[in-house]
Amino acid sequence: MTVPGASAEQALDARPDEASASVEGRLRIALVYDRLYPHEIGGFERFYRDLAERLAARHEVTFLTRTQWAGKRCPDPPVGVRLVAFDCGSQVYTASGRRRILPTLRFGMSVLIHLMRNRKRYDVVETGSFPFFSALAAMLVRSLKGPEVVTDWIEVWSDDYWRRYLGLLGGRVGAAVQRLCIRLTRHAFTFSRLTAELLRQHGYSGQLVILKGMSDSPGPAPLRLERDPLVVFAGRQIREKHADAIPAAISLARGQIADLQAIVFGEGPARAELLAEVTRLHLENIVSCPGFVPWEEVDSAMRRAMCLILPSEREGYGAVVMEAIARGTPAIVVRAPYNAATGLIVENVNGFIAPSIGAYDLSAQIVKVHQEGRDLLLRTHQWFCEHAQEVSIDACVKSVEQTYRMITCSPDGATSGRA
């Protein structure tokens, strides 16, 4: 039988009495996230796919997502993972980059129907906190004697940010729904101490595990000491990431690094502002903006660049920063109250933290990287060699599995562990 609104070929759901019991040591896991890599590109999209495939090597894993591809079948589903895709409409974002409400409601309702019909199929559900409606659906099913739920809190937004994102009335509603989700969360994963502190400040008192990394690098990459005078950005171009601040910084830094260039990978609602800045400063031959490209091209650019730059004011982790550091490439980030990427940087060891997104502040950090040269590359490489295991996706999966075990072994789903 199929879930209403879902792709028939990818939503073959057993009735609860048909669900097979777990073999000893093998868990039945549902992962819930409405974005699937590489159809949607981002650090957390890659993390969820990596997590699903690694868990599937030892457990029975189902990934609940929405259809993000043409045709009925996903052209490249995660290896070993049962994929359930719901048709929630293709237009998920507005022109300004804000999420549309209707698709998130449809996804939440599809998740609710699926989990209600399959309450006995899963031992544990792991869901992203956002969009909230799918997380609330999993929590509702849990309250009806369904599987225990672990919620991934990637970010926690302030009331002020909610107002900026949705306006006065919509912002109040968004903040209220976030508070409700926090109150209903029993087990939480976060990816930074910043988000963990924000959760506590918003009243969360349950079990909390900080997952320290998501790097899929098998180990430190061979260090390339000969670098181009190149600065790289990679990410979705939304206003909070301030990709449009890069051209002016490059223009200023070229006063001291004459042959400096930049590549700005990615697309998004703020791309027009970036291109306008490139044109205004006559940098068409200096700052390249190729859009979304295969990961291999980003990887190659990172390996030959002198640094990565991420002038973002809001990051739940900053996966691209760690990907750069794994290649011995230092990173420049910006100090901001909600930017967890600053927690990945040890100043003048694996990068620098700019005090603002201003062109002078960013260009000053670019010049510092250039002046430090090979010494900074060696320090960055050494830092990753010392921390590679703790920031790896494999260490993350181990923590996730340990949490699953504690939850499923406890009669009421409660655990005493806290990080």
Average pLDDT, integer, range 284-304: 95
Cα(326)–Cα(139) distance, integer angstroms: 36
Residue range 153-209, pLDDT digits in tens: 999 999 999 998 888 998 999 999 999 999 999 999 999 999 999 999 999 999 899
Tell me the CATH number at 99: 3.40.50.2000
Q: What is the pLDDT of residue 211?
A: 94
Residue 230 has what pLDDT? Answer: 98
* 17 pLDDT above the threshold of 50: no
The better pLDDT of the pair 9, 345 is held by 345
Report whether pLDDT(265) > 90.
yes
Q: Which H/E stretch holds residue 373?
A: helix 359-387
Total domains in the fold of the chain: 2
C-alpha torsion 45→50→56→61, nearest 10: -10
Same domain, 358 and 250: yes
Predicted confidence at residue 25, as pLDDT, reads: 83
Shared domain for 165 and 242, answered yes or no, is no
Q: Is residue 1 one of the residues assigned to a domain?
A: no
Residues 66 and 29 both lie in one domain: yes
| Same domain, residue pair 210 and 320 | no
- 10 Å CB burial of residue 401 (0-12, 13-18, 19+) is middle
With respect to residue 291, please indicate whether it lies within any of the assigned structural domains. yes
Section 345-367 average pLDDT: 98
State the Cα–Cα distance between residues 55 and 68, nearest whole angstrom: 23
Task: Kindly state whether residues 263 and 202 are assigned to the same domain.
Answer: no
Tell me if 106 is assigned to some domain.
yes
pLDDT digits (tens, 9 = 90+) for 322-349: 999 999 999 999 999 999 999 999 999 9
Per-residue confidence (pLDDT) for residue 218, from 0 to 100: 66
178 in the same domain as 48: yes
Output the average pLDDT for the chain.
Answer: 90
Q: Are 119 and 101 in contact (CB under 8 A)?
A: no
The least confident of 94-103, 221-230, 306-315, 374-383 is 94-103
284-307 average pLDDT score: 96
CA dist 331 and 318 (Å) reads 11
At residue 312, the pLDDT reads 97
Does residue 416 fall inside a structural domain? no
What average pLDDT does range 9-27 have in this prediction?
A: 51
Mean pLDDT value of segment 35-58: 92
In this prediction, residues 214-234 reach a mean pLDDT of 87
From 46, 333, 41, 391, select the one nearest 215 (Cα to Cα): 391
Residue 6: band (very low, low, confident or very high) from pLDDT cuts 50, 70, 90 = very low
Q: Let me know whether 247 and 212 are in one domain.
A: no
Residue 103 located in a structural domain: yes
What residues have CB less than 8 Å from 21, skipping those under 6 apart?
none
Q: For residues 59-82, b (16+ Cβ closer than 10 Å) or e, as one string?
A: bbbbbbbbbbeeeeebeebbeebb
Clarify whether residues 237 and 151 are in a common domain: no
Per the domain annotation, does 344 fall within a domain? yes
pTM of the model: 0.87
Per-residue model confidence (pLDDT) at position 411:
57
**Domain span at residue 265?**
230-387
Q: Is residue 225 part of a domain?
A: no
Indicate the pLDDT class of residue 101, thresholds 50, 70 and 90.
confident
- pLDDT of 266 higher than 80: yes
Q: Region 108-135: what's the mean pLDDT?
A: 96
If you average pLDDT over residues 278-301, what whole number do you get?
A: 96
Burial class (CB in 10 A: 0-12, 13-18, 19+), 213: buried
Check pLDDT > 60 for residue 140: yes
Same domain, 12 and 155: yes
Residue 390 has pLDDT above 60, yes or no: yes
